[in-house]
Homo-oligomer: A and B are copies of this chain.
Amino acid sequence: MSNKVFIFDSTLRDGAQADGISFSVEDKVKVVKALDEIGVDYIEAGNPMSNPKDMEFFDRIAHLELSQARIVAFGSTRKSNISPQEDAGLKALEKAGTSTVAIFGKCWDFHVTDIIETSLEENLNMIRDSVAYLKSLGKEVIFDGEHFFDGFKNNSEYAMQCLAAAAEAGADCLVLCDTNGGTFPSEVHDITRKVVDTFSTAIGIHCHNDCGMAVANSQMAVEAGARHVQGTFIGYGERCGNANLSTIIPNLQLKRKMECIPEASIPRLTMIALTIAEISNISLNKREPYVGRCAFTHKGGMHVDAVNKTPQSFEHIDPEAVGNRRIFLTSEVAGRGAVISKIHKVSPELTKDSPETTRIIKRLKELEHAGYQFEAAESSFELIIRKELGKYRPLFELVSFKVIGEQPYREGLSATALIKIIVDGKEEITAAEGEGPVNALDKALRKALEVFYPEIAQVYLIDYKVRVLDGKSASASKVRVLIESTDGKDTWASVGVSRDIIEASWLALVDSVEYKLIKDIESKFKAYL
């Protein structure tokens, strides 16, 4: 049996069923790019029938060039007593234009008779017709056997007939779904083995986490011969979530020598998990296996000593294998490799062991502890390095600002900002109106700076994100603001953290304009440096 396990990500479809998750079309494109970059085989991107936004997305994605992943549109078998040609869902699938489709069909007799209220025979026809119709359109067809395990336990003969109907009609893969998430690992193993022994079609597994065993159930199915695993990249999904692919992939690939994604992608698992969490606007669970911030964090003194001696004493894998890092909660010694490459941008002569490197890492850790995160804010990161190395001088001095928001207000101009700055001893005071306090402050700052640095006129913000770091203090919670800026040529991102959203935004704005000005100085005077 082959070692290749096909990875099918449903973050954009089943993941979007999670409480608190809502993707814009723009978000979806970003998730697709991240998943393609890491090399999953299939990306289930939505149900073109149920959601008009999904149809817009399929139009949009058609022009995107992907290196590896196949985009999948999701739907169901036709409704009872109509032809596949008349079925609105199958039409929508055709219209979505993907070369691969996934359709679910009922496999639990009780669902056929009591939920969709049709006959067992007609349900088999619905499966057969729908698969055959989609195959006649030239599509790769993945058949999701909904509630397969519950169905098998209740009426195994009928559940197997459902798979047979799909297989005979030409389905390319039969996926066994534990839709309610109530099945146990040993059951999944034994039932999957029976299916694998019965059919020559490829067998897949789709698990939910209602008993906390979705990852283990997926593992057991692969051990029983399944070679297609469905899940969501960080486990988001309805109720307790779907099987977590960022756990399953390293389990299979690092510990069972199966081939899930390209070998070179494994060290990017942590970064991609963080990226998808960020797009979903959810903080990644810090205790997540492999990719969580605490996955290799040691606190107990004995454990810290032992890991210092021999890492494998209390680590099941090398954290760097998945792009994560070891953290000792008392004495931290992590991350030099990653930092040094950024330091080299500013000072190529420094090494991993230079005292400056140590000082920069110390400063970074302090800031991270305070809630900063630099993965997506390289311009703030560079400014910190410059500040520590003395390769920085402030390009303006803030004397004061005042931001006023009020109601009632004129549409679009709900806030006013006044600002006073000094550049080379010259004062400039000015004001601007905007939509909300941050917009007003952003405009006022750039207006004041333009007097001294006309190139600031080219800069504008293209993204603005707010993340509340600790819900506990409610409206006085600490927030992290991330902004992305462009001058038409380059884009860069900066970050600010504060309990006051205006201050957090201010810190990120200042980094953004300073980075731009330094960048210009560098390119203008490179020859002299």
Contacts and interface: CB of A to CB of B under 8 A. Distances in A.
Interface of A: 16-20, 22, 24, 26, 50-51, 53, 110-111, 114-115, 179-182, 184-186, 189, 209-213, 215-217, 219-220, 223, 235-236, 238-241, 244, 247-248, 251, 255-256, 281, 283, 285-290, 292-301, 303, 306, 309-310, 312-317, 329, 331-333, 373, 375-376, 398, 400-408, 412, 414-415, 434-439, 441-442, 460-472, 474-477, 479, 483-484, 498-503, 505-506, 509
Given A240-B288, A462-B474, A502 B436 contact: yes
Contacts of A499: 412, 414, 435-436, 439
A402 B406 contact: yes
Contacts of A407: 398, 400-401, 503, 506
A161 B240 CA distance: 41
Given A50-B301, A281-B467, A287-B241, A442 B475 contact: yes
Most chain-B CB neighbours within 10 Å: which of A239, A306, A373, A398? Answer: A239
A509 to B, nearest CB: 8
A315 B313 CA distance: 41
A289 B235 CA distance: 13
A288 B287 CA distance: 13
23 contacts: A19-B297, A26-B470, A180-B315, A185-B216, A186-B220, A186-B223, A210-B295, A211-B316, A212-B251, A216-B217, A400-B407, A401-B406, A401-B407, A402-B406, A415-B500, A434-B475, A437-B501, A442-B475, A461-B474, A464-B477, A465-B471, A475-B505, A475-B509
A291 to B, nearest CB: 10
A293 B182 CA distance: 18
Contacts of A476: 434-436, 439
Most chain-B CB neighbours within 10 Å: which of A17, A301, A316, A401? Answer: A316
A462 B468 contact: no
Contacts of A211: 215, 247, 251, 255, 289, 316
B464 A475 contact: yes
